[in-house]
Copies of this chain bind each other. A is one copy, B any other.
Amino acid sequence: MHMCLIRLDQVNRKPEQMPYYTPLDPVRFLLRSAMIYRDKTAVIHGDRSFSYETLADRVLRLANLLIHAFHVRPGDRVAVLCQNVPAFLEATFAIPAAGGVLVPINTRLAPPEIEYVVQDSGASILLVQDEILPRVSTTVRASTKLIHIADYQNRGDPLCPYERLLQETETKLMWKDLPLTTDENAIMTINYTSGSTGKPKGAMISYRSIYMLAMTMCIQAQITHSSKYLWTLPLFHCNGWDFPFALMAVGATQYMLNKIDYGYVWKLIKEQGITHYCAAPTVQNELCHHKDAVRLNHVVHSFSGGSTLPNKLVRRLNSLNVHVTQVYGLTEVTGPAILSYDDGALSQHPKEKHLDLFSRQGYNILSLDQVRVLDQKTAKDIKPDGMQIGELCLVGNTTMRGYFNNPEATKKAFREGYFWTGDLAVIYPDGAIEIVDRAKDVIISGGENISSIELENVIGSLEKVLECAVVAGPDDKWGERPVAYVVVKEGHTITVEEIIAHCRERLAGYKCPSKVMLVKSIPKSGTGKLQKNLLRDELWKSHKRRIN
């Protein structure tokens, strides 16, 4: 068995291929690592673990299965609807290795939403985890071939259908025979946006984009062969921010995690020496305030995205020896696009300014060529004074090729050769970007723009506040006024008046909330983002809706 793994990377070259060109294909990371780190642990899930050799073998089997039993042909879409189980990771490499296009689906979607993504992508095969199967409609069941996956964590568990299929598959095609891409600009994955303002759209991401982002994340997240990554971030979210590829490139170890159990997460961090994890601020918050939270003996690198981390949470993470980086990203640019100031950048500034600088989004990653903040009307650069507001525009090697089967939306998304994010930002004299708001989350009150994020940060800085969301509510006089939804920490109390007074001390009067609602929780999307649209819908249901 060992012999068949030797120099796995000797994939056949096409006669017309120039010696200086090999398509930038992240599947090849697995081949190289399976050779160099053959007996090293690649994946751990519960009490099961796979070496790189076993992982490569399983991926090869799955690719053979897809080609021979499921008749996948180059360009066919294969959807995956799973939690963070090893099968998902395997599919992430096997689908492109078989020539297919990976379509990850958010596991928290409702049946009609799942149906929409499957139908829009035209996926003919669906890898689905048993737990989510009840949400797969009869229409989807009729139009796709299903591969059932169980969360098979314990060595003693009975074989699930997926495991049985893998075991029974003959590897007729070896790595060198597989239809690996010959064009780095071909589509490797289609990732659906959350679609908070309409139907989800499928961002087409190329092999080159994923390869370049993986290299960048290795460098900027300092991932090495000794890294131990914990999967607190869903793999379906922008292909897990591209970490599966970065980790595979260097021969690191990945700890799968199908559901977040904070006690178990702390156990893994402490006992297994986890070095890296990614999570939304809400997860960071829960993690930090869990009863098992202690200052760690080793540094853990954490990447936080979805919304801005409140300063007090950054301080709390640092006190636990968690070194955090803020990530701004979008499905349309393969995931991470802007990272907060690193220690090298911060070292140029006095220490007392670090937290404030850190709360900005920061600078584009190495492989995203440009970020620009452009005036929405003139498409000219705004003044980099930290005051003037424009729309954040991105361009470069990690930009999507367009929306699948949706030339109209693609045309709307690009203007002047840039991808327009819909996020409003300022640019500081040092070139750093700060997102001021989602274009649609800005509150326009009597002609003045109020940043919902600014107000959330002020309310969130109160010790007793766990979470806060600010949205525009209808107002007869001003058009819109800020309404704050506030969740108070368990065992604490705070009054609406205290909150308003706290804002008045810190902000211009017109920016302070007209209404504060103390609530038990705030609705969140599958990726942990605040669903402000639901709050807005509620407030505006008897009014003529603002346009967004």
| Residues of A340-354 contacting chain B, CB below 8 A | 341-345, 347-348
In the complex, whether A165 has a CB less than 8 A from a CB of chain B is: no
Cα–Cα, bound, A304→B472 (Å) = 62
A401 (CB) vs chain B CBs: closest residue: B20
From B3, B22, B216, B363, A36 is in contact (CB under 8 Å) with: B363
Cα–Cα, bound, A40→B37 (Å) = 37
Q: How many residues of A contact B (CB 8 A)?
A: 72
Q: Across the interface, do B38 and A7 meet the contact criterion of CB distance under 8 Å? A: no
In the complex, whether A419 has a CB less than 8 A from a CB of chain B is: yes
Cα–Cα, bound, A410→B400 (Å) = 37
Instruction: Name which of A9-17, A62-70, A322-330 contacts chain B.
Output: A9-17
The contact string, 1 if C-beta is below 8 Å from chain B, for chain A 210-227, is: 000001101100101110
From B19, B28, B250, B429, A399 is in contact (CB under 8 Å) with: B19
Q: Across the interface, do A429 and B3 meet the contact criterion of CB distance under 8 Å? A: yes
Chain B residues, Cβ within 8 Å of A21:
185, 397
So how many copies of this chain end up in the complex?
A: 2
Q: Across the interface, do B6 and A430 meet the contact criterion of CB distance under 8 Å? A: yes
In the complex, whether A492 has a CB less than 8 A from a CB of chain B is: no
Cα–Cα, bound, A37→B342 (Å) = 10
Task: Point out residues on A near B: beta carbons under 8 Å.
Answer: 2-3, 5-11, 13, 15, 17, 19-22, 24, 28-29, 32, 35-40, 185, 206, 208-209, 215-216, 218-219, 222, 224-226, 249-251, 341-345, 347-348, 363-364, 366, 369-372, 381, 384, 395-401, 414, 417-419, 427, 429-431
9 CB-based A-B contacts, threshold 8 Å: A6-B429, A20-B209, A20-B397, A20-B399, A20-B401, A40-B344, A215-B215, A219-B249, A251-B345
Excluding A5-B431, A17-B417, A222-B222, 5 further A-B contacts by CB distance (< 8 Å) are A6-B384, A7-B372, A21-B185, A35-B431, A39-B348
Q: Which 7 A-B pairs have the closest CB atoms?
A: A225-B344, A22-B369, A35-B431, A39-B348, A20-B399, A218-B219, A215-B215
